[in-house]
């Protein structure tokens, strides 16, 4: 059995060893292959699942990693990279065609909107059914019922058939049940994206809380800032292959660099007439004295100077500069009410930051030049240069704000 509870290191909750999963692009061939495989297995013959046949492809291709108890792992990558397939294999919905997955502990999952719910039953009834699927007894559900409906916050719809629920209400109810079953391992897919901002933040806080109590979390999302917010480690998948497996910020930086290269290729293929001649001719990062450097102290003044080489002048463009894709901070001329009447090869853009309030770390500067409507990027480089910040003290968090303490004693 590919997913098992075999003896592994007590600190390890999930171990994935050289796992691969294939799909077939043709429905007819997929059905034919399925019948053949079943027949061969019934006769005691090998179905040769490790080999590709016509129209088949590897959705997951030779992936290995492990997650320790209490860790939170993010999984990022473009659409079709294999993120959800991997999550479904961790949940036991799919079996690997190659390799082995070892799971240690009770698993709770929120992978598809409405999964495990019966559309004709009410929210109240589905809480008991879904909780039972996740291993909770009726007595346990009774004890936590009020807390579940309070977290779900579905109001007067508790006794309404869930077929009348919106996708957001499905997610509210499903997540509320999943976190209250107190799983050892929680698997969460991109479904949280359909919820509103308030509920999204509530889910982020709850995942942080249960992680501190020892629950292992695997979180699949396109929301990079959310991944960075709660995940210590991260996987970057592309075309079924594991591109990077490391600390979250390191993996996110690799993802942005990959995305920057991809975007540059797309721009070359679909750039409108006259855009092909836009190039970054000058980019420097300087201190208050105009000295160019890459290492700064927290709170130091920073000047960023930028010029472009263009074939045709660009009227009213918007200039955008950020750190790690707006993860930490971003500036643009539109929001700051700065008008660039026209940009040509003689235009120099200077951003002056009096107090650069980020703590120690390596950050990647991102630069973009947009049209006046903020729709089309004339130029986009998602990681043009690394910027290293060092702090004399170790602060709590990434941001350091100017502040003053006042201690007063009443007389």
* 315 occurs within a structural domain: yes
Give pLDDT tens digits for 152-167. 888 788 889 988 888 8
CA distances from 293 to 3, 290, 296 (A): 51, 9, 8
The pTM for the full model equals 0.65
- Output the CA–CA distances (angstroms, integers) from residue 383 to 122, 227, 279, 294, in the order listed: 49, 19, 15, 14
Instruction: Please indicate, yes or no, whether residues 335 and 206 belong to a single structural domain of this protein.
Output: no
Provide the pLDDT for residue 263: 57
What CATH number corresponds to the domain at position 284?
A: 2.70.50.60
Q: Which of 58, 36, 60 is nearest to 48 (CA)?
A: 36
- Whole-number pLDDT of residue 307: 94
Q: What is the 3-state secondary structure (H, E, C) of 282-335?
A: EEEEECCCCCECCEEECCCCEEEEEEEECCCCEECCEEEEEECCCCCEEEECCC
Let me know if residue 374 belongs to a domain.
yes
Same-domain check for residues 234 and 282: no
pLDDT band at 271 (very low <50, low <70, confident <90, very high): very low
How far is 132 from 118, CA to CA, in rounded Å?
13
At residue 144, the pLDDT reads 92
Sheet architecture: strand order including 348-353: 279-286, 302-309, 348-353
Which phi and psi angles does 409 have, rounded to 5°? -115, 125
Q: Are residues 171 and 97 in the same domain?
A: yes
CA 369/CA 317 separation, integer angstroms: 7
pLDDT at residue number 264: 55
What contacts 380, CB < 8 A, 6 or more positions away?
260, 263, 264, 267, 367, 368, 369
Using only C-alpha atoms, the chain has a radius of gyration, in whole angstroms, of 26
CATH code of 198's domain = 3.40.50.300
How do residues 184-231 score in pLDDT, each as one tens digit? 999 988 767 666 777 878 888 888 888 888 899 999 988 877 887 788
Q: Going along 149-205, which residue ranges are E strands?
A: 185-188
Q: Are residues 104 and 232 in the same domain?
A: yes
276 vs 45, more confident: 45
Same domain, 139 and 220: yes
23 found inside a domain = no
For 145-264, strand residue ranges (E) read 185-188, 216-220, 233-238, 241-247
- 218-231 per-position pLDDT tens digit: 999 888 778 877 88
Residues 336-375 pLDDT 10s: 999 999 999 999 999 999 988 887 777 888 888 888 888 7
Q: Are residues 327 and 185 in the same domain?
A: no
Q: What is the overall mean pLDDT for the chain?
A: 83
Give me the pLDDT at residue 342, please: 93
- Residue 201, C-beta contacts closer than 8 angstroms, at least 6 positions apart: none
Predicted pLDDT at 2: 42
Print the domain residue range for 286.
271-390
CA distances from 149 to 140, 174, 198, 208, 300 (A): 14, 11, 16, 20, 49
Please determine, for residue 3, whether its predicted confidence score (pLDDT) is greater than 50: no
Strand-by-strand arrangement of the 216-220 sheet:
107-110, 185-188, 216-220, 72-76, 233-238, 241-247
Same domain, yes or no: 145 and 284: no
**Looking at the domain assignment, is residue 40 inside a domain?**
no
Domain count along the chain? 2
**304 shares its domain with 352:** yes
Q: pLDDT band for position 76 (50/70/90)?
A: very high
Q: Check whether residue 124 and residue 224 sit in a common domain.
A: yes
Q: Tell me the mean pLDDT in the region 282-311.
A: 91
CB 210 within 8 A of CB 179: yes
- pLDDT tens-place string over residues 59-74: 999 999 999 999 999 9
d(C-alpha 210, C-alpha 178), whole Å: 12
Structural domain includes residue 58: no
Regarding whether 231 and 162 lie in a shared domain, the answer is: yes
Cα–Cα dist 123/135, whole Å: 18
Paired tokens of 388: 């290293």
Q: Over pLDDT 90: what percentage of the chain?
A: 30
**For the residues of 75-101, what is the DSSP string, one character each?**
EE--TTSSHHHHHHHHTTSS--SEEEE
Lowest mean pLDDT among 9-23, 122-136, 188-202: 188-202
């Amino acid at each position: 059995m590919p997913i098992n509870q075999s003896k592994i290191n007590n600190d390890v909750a999930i171990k994935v060893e050289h796992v691969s999963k294939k799909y077939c692009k043709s429905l007819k061939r997929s059905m034919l292959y399925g019948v053949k495989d079943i027949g061969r297995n019934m006769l005691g013959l090998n179905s040769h699942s490790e080999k590709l046949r016509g129209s088949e492809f590897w959705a997951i291709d030779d992936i290995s990693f492990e997650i320790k108890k209490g860790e939170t792992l993010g999984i990022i990558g473009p659409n079709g990279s294999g993120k959800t397939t991997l999550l479904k294999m961790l949940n036991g919905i799919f079996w690997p065609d190659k390799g082995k997955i070892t799971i240690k502990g009770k698993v709770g999952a929120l992978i598809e909107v409405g999964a495990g719910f019966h559309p004709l039953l009410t929210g109240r009834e589905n809480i008991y059914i879904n909780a039972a699927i996740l291993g909770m007894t009726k007595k346990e559900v009774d004890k936590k019922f009020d807390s579940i409906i309070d977290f779900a916050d579905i109001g007067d719809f508790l006794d309404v058939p869930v077929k009348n629920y919106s996708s957001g209400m499905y997610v509210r109810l499903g997540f509320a049940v999943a976190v209250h079953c107190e799983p050892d391992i929680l698997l969460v897919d991109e479904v949280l994206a359909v919820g509103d901002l308030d509920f999204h933040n509530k889910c982020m806080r709850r995942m942080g809380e249960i992680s501190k109590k020892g629950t292992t979390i695997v979180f699949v999302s396109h929301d990079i800032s959310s991944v960075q917010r709660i995940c210590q480690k991260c996987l970057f998948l592309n075309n079924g292959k594991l591109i990077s497996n490391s600390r979250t910020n390191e993996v996110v930086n690799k993802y942005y660099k990959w995305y920057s290269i991809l975007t540059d290729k797309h721009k070359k293929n679909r750039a409108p007439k006259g855009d092909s001649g836009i190039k970054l001719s000058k980019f420097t990062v300087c201190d208050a004295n105009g000295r160019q450097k890459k290492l700064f102290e927290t709170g130091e003044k920073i000047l960023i100077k930028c010029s472009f080489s263009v074939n045709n002048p660009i009227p009213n463009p918007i200039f955008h500069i950020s750190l790690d894709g707006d993860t930490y901070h971003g500036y643009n001329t539109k929001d700051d009410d700065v008008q660039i009447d026209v940009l040509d090869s003689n235009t120099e853009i200077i951003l002056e930051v009096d107090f650069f309030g980020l703590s120690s770390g390596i950050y990647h500067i991102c630069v973009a030049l947009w049209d006046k409507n903020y729709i089309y990027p004339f130029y986009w480089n998602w990681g043009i240069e690394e910027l290293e910040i060092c702090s004399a003290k170790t602060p709590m968090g990434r941001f350091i704000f100017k502040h003053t303490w006042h201690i007063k004693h009443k007389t």
